[in-house]
Chains A and B, each alone.
Chain A
Amino acid sequence: MDFGFKISPSSAINLDKVDLGKFEELHKAEPDVYKCMACGSCSSTCPASRFSGMSVRKVILDLQRGREKEAVALMRNCMLCGKCTMVCPRGINTRHLILSICRIYMEDGK
């Protein structure tokens, strides 16, 4: 039936329902992922960010909020240039982190 309007699905994050199994796996491989303080240095320096919205900060956040699909979609824009690693003030090896995220979250390995 058409009521002339649609209710969009809730975009709220329910932390009770977030499965952090893969994130725990990632944390084992990359203990420093916990240290991100969401400063945004990585995104502002990223050459891919301007065209695609790529942001390591957002990827780390999305993974912790159970938005894995969105995170993986963003990651496909990364060129692995490593600029983000050079600027991260928390000393996170973000380039290495990205590779680990690919391994753990991208089933097809691409």
Chain B
Amino acid sequence: MKENIVIIGGGIAGLEAAGQLAALGYKPIIIEKSDHLGGHVAEWHRLFPDMTPARDVVGGLISRASGSNIFLNTEISFVNKLKDSYNIMLSNGISIITRIILVTTGFSVFEAARKEEYGYGVYDQVMTNRDLEHWFNTGKDKRVDNCAMNAVGFVHCVGSRDEKAKNPQCSKVCCITAIKQAIEIKQRFPEAMVYCFYMDLRMFGKKYEDFYINAQRDYGIRFIRGRVSEVSENIDGRVIVKAEDTLSGKPVKVTLDLLVLMAGMVCSQESTKVANMANLPVDSDGFLKSRDNVTAIIESPKEGVFYAGACTGPKTVPETLAEARAAALEVHLYIKSLE
């Protein structure tokens, strides 16, 4: 089958779709702007709720997609709409004529420094969920090395559910990521007091509530209902967190050795760039707009352009993979309809 299929983004969505399309007999082209495949999941250590090593998941996806034409370190320079196809110009000078584009450009992690009141990049002992995954992977982070780890706090909803940060949406994965990371901290530092500051705990997925009960019963993680309002640093470099304990209706204060900000999933500028080039609409939350949010989340309103994964909104790995498989089938059916 000679039909060209261009997949923009080599994260798990792009890889899974490529693997499925290869199994259907196609040879898709993956365009990835960074120097590696796997997207964000390649940065994570273990995945909730089963603590699956992220490396194994990404490795499996890469090997199944290996029959594709893969361009790393490559971006889209422009997209031209021809009569019944698209001309895609790549940054390496190659141009591709295709009738099918699958957009799998994913999301960005919210820039935590924008919430100045939390002191990321200002106070030494404040890090993000992403930094913590990096430490789990490499064992290298001076914030962890430098402290006694007697008390650790997790701040939920950083840059999510926050109109001031221009992200009113819930990022969906950070409650369960906080539970996962809090458990991992307890496993490494059993004596530490671990606090989660939350507004609601959104344990929507399979086995998430069990994971939460685990965190409570087996690890003694303390959940405090209230959004952290401000963080300051004391003279010995530890951080002081203030919030309201809304369940008792009283202000609460605690000094911590390490504060982890659960930065949310927001739309990526790279996705918006592709949307602008291909004339795709953007939804009110900044993510790419689907033809229909109920029945056609993986279809764009444009002929021959499909979506999969976190480019249309916050998603978990299993949700992303399911969409990628669905998109591969949709592409296959679309090609059949053209014959």
Main secondary structure of the interface of A (DSSP, over half): helix
| Interface contact B216-A13, CB-CB below 8 Å | no
Chain A residues closer than 8 Å to B195, beta-carbon distance: 15
Contacting chain A: which of B162-170, B248-256, B303-311?
B248-256
Contact check: which of B213, B217, B225, B245 meets A65 at CB < 8 Å? B245
A31-B255 Cα distance, complex, nearest whole Å: 26
Instruction: Considering the complex, give the chain A residue whose CB is closest to the CB of B241.
Output: A15
* One of A32-40, A45-53, A77-85, A100-108 at the interface: A32-40
Partner of B253, one of A14, A37, A38, A90: A14
CB of A27 within 8 Å of the partner chain = yes
- B82, CB-defined interface residue at 8 Å: no
Bound complex: CA A47 to CA B217 (Å): 28
Asked whether B248 lies within 8 Å of A65 as measured between CB atoms, the reply is yes
Q: Which of B247, B254, B255 contacts A38 (CB 8 A)?
A: B247
Instruction: Tell me how many residues of A have a C-beta within 8 Å of chain B.
Output: 20
Judge whether A41 is part of the interface by a CB distance below 8 angstroms: no
> Do the beta carbons of A13 and B253 come within 8 Å of each other?
yes
A12 (CB) vs chain B CBs: closest residue: B251
Q: Which residues of A contact B252 (CB under 8 A)?
A: 12-15, 65
Cβ contact within 8 Å between B217 and A13? no
Instruction: Point out which of B245, B247, B248 has the most chain A C-beta atoms below 10 A from its C-beta.
Output: B248
Count of chain B residues with Cβ under 8 Å from any Cβ of A?
A: 16
Question: What is the CB-to-nearest-CB distance from A90 to chain B, in angstroms, rounded to a whole number?
Answer: 8
Interface residue B202 (Cβ < 8 Å from any Cβ of A): no
Asked whether, in the complex, the Cβ of B222 is within 8 Å of the Cβ of A27, the reply is no
Q: Judge if B281 is at the interface, Cβ distance under 8 Å.
A: no
Residues of B close to A13: CB separation below 8 A = 245, 248, 250-253
Residues of B within 8 A of A90 (CB): 213
CB distance from A43 to the nearest CB of B (A): 12
Known A-B contacts A13-B245, A38-B247, A62-B248; A27 and B254 likewise in contact (beta carbons under 8 Å): no
B210 to chain A, nearest CB (A): 12
A interface residues, Cβ below 8 angstroms from B: 11-16, 27, 31-32, 34-35, 37-38, 58, 61-62, 64-65, 67, 90
